[in-house]
Chain A
Amino acid sequence: MPRETTGQARAGRIVEVQDLSVRFVTRDADISVVQDVSFTLDAGEVLCLLGESGSGKSVTMRSLLGLLPPTARVGGRVMVSGHEVTRMTERQLESVRGPVAAMVFQEPMTAFDPVFTIGTQIAETIVSHEGISYRVARARVLELLELVQIPSAARRLDAYPHELSGGLRQRAMIALALSCSPALLLADEPTTALDATVQIQILLLLRQLQRDLGMATIFVTHDIGVACEIADRVAIMYAGRFVETGPIDTLISHPAHPYTIGLLSSTVHESSRGRPLAPIQGGPPDLADLPGGCGFAPRCVARTALCDQVRPTLIPFSTTRAAACHHPALETAPA
């Protein structure tokens, strides 16, 4: 049930982010968590934001829904399905959240209200957005629970969140996100809190739903394996910036940015059996005290004097790929 979208720059273009920057301003500090992030996303496409904790991937995603704490100051332009999210009031955003873009949370246990049944919570969302009767909404909820492959869905309708297993809860969470047929699905590490066996089931489900419903999807994860499983394109984030973007297959096989190379060599895969992993030296930078040049320079193996002085910008080096590095490993990357 893909939604018709109007007033867009291009047919099928769901997301357009231009020079997004997010700062968290408190009495004691003014911290830039996201800087100069730009990307676009078309219907049916899956973008993975990949990065370690604190790299700004969740904040980037949440700013698409305007779901940031009151201390956040957002700059740049975020267009979702023709709505300029960055200029909207909280009240206007309410009509975007749900029917235009919906989100799957990391922790399905705490993302449901413990005092209401799953069915009630999903139905309530549909009722409030579409103004249909509760009875009709309940029938829709049953369809949704079946869509996310919850066994004996009719019985789960009246189950409280604590009565479901983690995997079922996450499926219900996905049903909640799909309840208003969003054009854009946001998933914030939806498999991190789950058992390894359940993780792959949820991933497969998400990918299947995304293809069947033709939704644009943004997937936040720190797990390269997850990204490989689901993404069309990947954006690697480091210290609040995109450091490398590109299609998942060529980016994995021929990484250009030293950080991406480091990430890949520190990941467990089949050929690494019996060999120690090669970690990236050092730790992630303090966002309140970033170096003047390249944010990754202090940990980088290819670092030169230029890296400390000039911050590299994201420069395309092929039709689909770009890297923010003065010394990208281009010889290994095919055009």
Chain B
Amino acid sequence: MTEIAVLPATAHTPARRPPQRGYWRNVLKRFLRDRIGLVCLMVLLAIALAAIFAPLLAPADPYRTSMIRRLIAPGEKGYLLGTDELGRDMLSRLLYGGRVSLSMGIAPIVLSTMIGGGLGVIAGYFGRHINMMIMRVIDVFYAFPSVLLAVAMAGVLGSGILNSLISLTLVFIPPIARVAESVTTQVRNQDFVEAARATGAGSARIIIEHVLANVTGPILTYASSLVSVSIIISSGLSFLGLGASPPTADWGLMLNTLRQAVYVAPVNAVLPGVMIFLTSVSFNLVSDSLRTAMDVRA
């Protein structure tokens, strides 16, 4: 019989397993060891902080237009990142734009993860009739392309940031519920769930302790990969006049309005896209690292 626990093969760990200090502290320790995840987290934090403190950081008023200073290239005449097609300071607009874009990326996903994840876990755990009822309704929504659905809902609800938040939430409930349902179905059929039942655990305890602990990893990873999609769809809604409306600074909206200037001032036109890219890639990589860190079997 082996009496020595399996050790993670890391070059500089001592031969003895370090004392365990609780699950989340271990997750944190493993996460901190992951360079890529850490760098991406820093990037995200920097973007978030910059957006939060935009009024303090912005060098100019993001809404002051100037017809003679249109599309100045980055670095010229005191405009660090140049100006847009209406002569507004790009850096200031990007900072303010981060507020709308980040919240439109994160808030709908948080809401739909709670609602969709909850529905999916319930459907997957109880199965049979409950599963049928929940998942068939979800399937109806899932049948529409997400952009079309968002546009339709925002159209019905009317324009505005709050309404596009609601429509984006509804758009992301079905895919998250489906992932949650399939992961839960897998976990539900594992021996340890039956073993928990054999020790007298009720459905509530099994769901809260065993199912949630095993499904949050996959659901969170999937949900965080949707943040970038949410940012992009919300930009699309803004472009169609269904979300944030001009002159509000929003990365998606900026990308769309600057698109006509792409031959004149390509760098300016690309900048909002770069921000969206950076944010979404960072979200994906952070979520990936988080999942690895949460997996005790790795």
Contacts and interface: CB of A to CB of B under 8 A. Distances in A.
A129 B199 CA distance: 9
A151 interface: yes
Interface string B16-28: 0101100100000
Interface string A105-126: 1010011111111000000110
B4 to A, nearest CB: 9
B191 A105 contact: yes
A112 B200 contact: no
B2 interface: yes
A98 B1 contact: no
Nearest to B194: A67
B1 A91 contact: no
Given A115-B296, A162-B296, A162-B297, A128 B5 contact: no
Given A111-B191, A158-B20, A67 B198 contact: yes
Contacts of A201: 1
Interface stretch (B67-75, B208-216, B265-273): B208-216
B296 A114 contact: yes
A226 interface: no
A110 B1 contact: no
Nearest to B205: A128
Nearest to A65: B198
B228 to A, nearest CB: 28
Interface string B283-298: 0000000000000110
Given A164-B5, A165-B1, A113 B197 contact: no
Residue of A67, A173, A201 ringed by the most chain B CB atoms within 10 A: A67
A67 B197 contact: yes
Instruction: Sort chain B's interface into a size bin.
Output: 20 to 34
A158 B200 CA distance: 23
A99 B199 CA distance: 8
A32 B234 CA distance: 58
Contacts of A98: 198-200
Nearest to A122: B199
Contacts of B196: 113
A198 B205 CA distance: 33
Given A91-B202, A97-B200, A162-B297, A113 B3 contact: no
B201 interface: yes
Instruction: Sort chain A's interface into a size bin.
Output: 35 or more
B200 A115 contact: no
Interface string B116-154: 000000000000100000000000000000000000000
A91 B296 CA distance: 32
Contacts of B197: 67, 97
Contacts of A67: 194, 197-198
B201 A94 contact: yes
Contacts of A103: 195, 198
A229 interface: no
Contact of B296 (A94, A96, A111, A160): A160
A159 interface: yes
A128 B201 contact: yes
A81 interface: no
Given A115-B23, A128-B205, A102 B199 contact: yes
Contacts of B20: 117, 158-159
Interface string A179-223: 110000000000000000110010000000000000000000000
A176 interface: yes
B23 A125 contact: no
A19 interface: no
Interface in B202-253: 202-203, 205, 209-210, 213-214
Contact of A167 (B1, B17, B23): B1
A165 B2 contact: yes
Contacts of B192: 110-114
Interface in A149-167: 151-152, 158-160, 162-165, 167
Residue of B2, B19, B192, B203 ringed by the most chain A CB atoms within 10 A: B192
Nearest to A186: B198
A112 B195 contact: yes
Interface of B: 1-3, 5-6, 17, 19-20, 23, 128, 190-192, 194-203, 205, 209-210, 213-214, 296-297
Across the A-B interface, the 7 shortest Cβ-Cβ residue pairs: A98-B200, A97-B200, A110-B191, A158-B20, A165-B2, A163-B5, A111-B195
22 contacts: A70-B128, A90-B202, A95-B200, A97-B198, A97-B200, A98-B199, A102-B199, A103-B198, A105-B194, A110-B190, A113-B214, A114-B296, A115-B213, A128-B201, A151-B3, A162-B296, A162-B297, A163-B17, A164-B5, A165-B1, A165-B3, A168-B1
Given A98-B198, A114-B192, A162-B6, 12 more contacts: A91-B202, A99-B200, A113-B209, A114-B296, A125-B200, A125-B201, A152-B3, A159-B20, A163-B6, A168-B2, A173-B195, A180-B199
